[in-house]
């Protein structure tokens, strides 16, 4: 029996591997059909995790949007939308951000120990702030999520979070959507940063499928033996 959730990492990037531009305005990489597909994937998960940088930069809702999918979750005895999770070193998050303000579900903040008191003061009314050591160890985060009943975790960015989950070999399934344009600005965040990734020329990842969705393409990779577990 695994002691961590099944982890699905989902992301969209430009042809040249960027997650966003550098303008401060959110860049839409996908199309409506793909956003709906992502909504369906979210609806199958117990929790959704993003880094504090994404909470600050994108102010995402991180909710299941389709009413039919929300109702279907409730019929299965679940909350309408998954638990929201973030990771922070500084704890400098706005309690009025949509991450905290929207959705009648738990919000978990895995916070580095030195910032814990300040984060609890700031966010204690809107989230559970968990002491996660210094620096925050993602193995500890996923083990704690497992202990809280999270069986299936969706990781939705940004680049620093992708890099850590992937280099730590904590991802079972990767969904990579490629948008049909370039960003061409090295100030913008990339899909991943530097690191020692388990999938290298001598250990190639398994391409489990590819699908055209309008003008984007979805690549699915199996990154562990657990791939496909429900």
Ligand X SMILES: NC(=O)c1ccc[n+]([C@@H]2O[C@H](COP(=O)([O-])OP(=O)(O)OC[C@H]3O[C@@H](n4cnc5c(N)ncnc54)[C@H](OP(=O)(O)O)[C@@H]3O)[C@@H](O)[C@H]2O)c1
What is the distance, to the nearest Å, from the Cα of residue 126 to the centroid of all Cα atoms in its chain?
Answer: 20
The contact mask relative to ligand X for 79-98 (x = CB under 6 A, - = no) is: --------xxxx-x------
48 binds ligand X (CB under 6 A): no
11 binds ligand X (CB under 6 A): yes
Angle at 202 between CA 204 and CA 178, to 5 degrees: 30
Quick one: CA dihedral 197, 138, 224, 210, positive or negative? Answer: negative
- Which CB atom, from 87 or from 127, has the smaller least distance to ligand X? 87
d(CA 84, CA 6): 16
**Only segment of 11-19, 65-73, 94-102, 217-225 that touches ligand X (CB under 6 A):** 11-19
Residues 119-138 that bind ligand X (CB under 6 A): 135-136
Q: Select from 58, 83, 172, 183 the one that contacts ligand X (CB under 6 A).
A: 58
5 binds ligand X (CB under 6 A): no
Find out whether 191 and 159 touch, Cβ atoms under 8 Å. Answer: yes
Q: Whole-number minimum distance, CB 73 to ligand X, in Å?
A: 23
159 binds ligand X (CB under 6 A): yes
Q: Whole-number minimum distance, CB 41 to ligand X, in Å?
A: 12
CA distance to 38, 49, 76, per residue, from 9 (Å): 11, 9, 24
d(CA 26, CA 73): 29
Residue with tokens 């996660």: 132
164 binds ligand X (CB under 6 A): yes
**Only segment of 49-57, 120-128, 166-174, 207-215 that touches ligand X (CB under 6 A):** 49-57
**Only segment of 77-85, 145-153, 158-166, 197-205 that touches ligand X (CB under 6 A):** 158-166
**Beta strand 47-51 pairing with 83-88:** parallel
**Only segment of 48-56, 62-70, 168-176, 198-206 that touches ligand X (CB under 6 A):** 48-56
Q: Select from 5, 82, 103, 157 the one that contacts ligand X (CB under 6 A).
A: 157
Q: Whole-number minimum distance, CB 93 to ligand X, in Å?
A: 7
Residues 173-212 that bind ligand X (CB under 6 A): 189
What is the distance, to the nearest Å, from the Cα of residue 174 to the centroid of all Cα atoms in its chain?
Answer: 11
CA distance to 21, 103, 108, 156, 208, per residue, from 123 (Å): 29, 16, 10, 21, 40
Q: Going edge to edge, which strands form the sheet with 206-213?
A: 128-131, 107-111, 83-88, 47-51, 152-155, 6-13, 173-178, 216-222, 206-213
User: Contact residues for ligand X (CB under 6 A)?
Assistant: 11-13, 19-20, 29, 50-54, 57-58, 87-90, 92, 112, 135-136, 156-161, 164, 189
């Amino acid at each position: 029996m695994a002691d961590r959730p099944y982890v699905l990492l989902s992301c969209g990037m430009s042809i040249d591997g960027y997650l966003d531009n550098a303008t401060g305005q959110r860049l839409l990489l996908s199309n409506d059909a793909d956003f709906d597909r992502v909504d369906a994937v979210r609806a199958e998960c117990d929790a959704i995790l993003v880094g504090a940088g994404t909470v600050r930069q994108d102010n995402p809702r991180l909710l299941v949007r389709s009413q039919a999918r929300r109702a279907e979750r409730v019929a299965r005895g679940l909350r309408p939308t998954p638990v929201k999770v973030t990771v922070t070193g500084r704890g400098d998050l706005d309690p009025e951000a949509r991450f905290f303000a929207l959705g009648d579900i738990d919000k978990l903040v895995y916070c580095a120990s030195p910032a814990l008191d300040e984060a609890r003061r700031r966010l204690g009314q809107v989230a559970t702030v968990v002491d996660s050591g210094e620096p925050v160890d993602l193995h500890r985060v996923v083990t704690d999520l497992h202990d809280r009943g999270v069986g299936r975790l969706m990781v939705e960015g940004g680049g620093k979070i992708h890099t850590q989950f992937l280099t730590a070999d904590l991802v079972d399934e990767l969904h990579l959507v490629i948008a049909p344009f370039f960003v061409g600005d090295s100030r913008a965040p990339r899909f991943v940063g530097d690191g020692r990734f388990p999938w290298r020329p001598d250990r190639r990842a398994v391409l489990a499928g590819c699908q055209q969705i309008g003008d984007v393409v979805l690549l699915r990779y199996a990154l562990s033996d657990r791939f496909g577990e429900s």
